[in-house]
Amino acid sequence: MHLPRPSAEGNRVARTVALGAGERETLDLYFREGAAVVLSDDRAFLTALQPHATPFLTPAAALIVLVERKALTLQEANAALESLRPLIREEQFRVARADLQRRARSGS
């Protein structure tokens, strides 16, 4: 089994904050692949990324972006959000649901 090497940028950020194995792997993947954002709902992890100007989205916010880019319909996003509900903070769920409802009313 081939394990990817940690990225230099990931190592630099990881030295400044305490990261668990999953967060470290997420950060390494972000830098290694040149991703646009980190996708996580781990509040401590996201807070640790802020001083490093690492862009991030929560899963609920990612659904909104996918609707904006027309990669998901409102119906698909609502179904996905409902599936995420037991896994995400209630506040994130309510904000995303309100955004999707507003878009449905406005027809966008």
Which range of residues forms the domain containing residue 94? 59-106
Q: What is the pLDDT of residue 13?
A: 66
What pLDDT is stored for residue 1 in this prediction? Answer: 39
| Main-chain phi, psi angles of 55, to 5 degrees | -70, 145
For residues 41 and 79, state if they share a domain.
Answer: no
Please give the tally of structural domains in the chain: 2
The answer, yes or no, to whether residue 29 has pLDDT greater than 60, is yes
Q: Distance of CA 104 to CAs 23, 61, 77, 95, Å?
A: 35, 16, 11, 14
Q: Compute the average pLDDT of residues 45-70.
A: 92
Dump pLDDT digits (tens) for 66-94: 999 999 999 999 999 999 999 999 999 99
Is residue 19 domain-shared with residue 52, that is, in the same domain?
A: yes
72 neighbors 59 (Cβ within 8 angstroms): no
Evaluate if residue 8 carries a pLDDT over 70.
Answer: no
- 23: Cβ–Cβ under 8 A, 6 or more apart, which residues? 40, 42, 45, 48
Q: What span, in angstroms and rounded, lies between the C-alpha atoms of 90 and 62?
A: 16
> Does residue 56 carry a pLDDT above 90?
yes
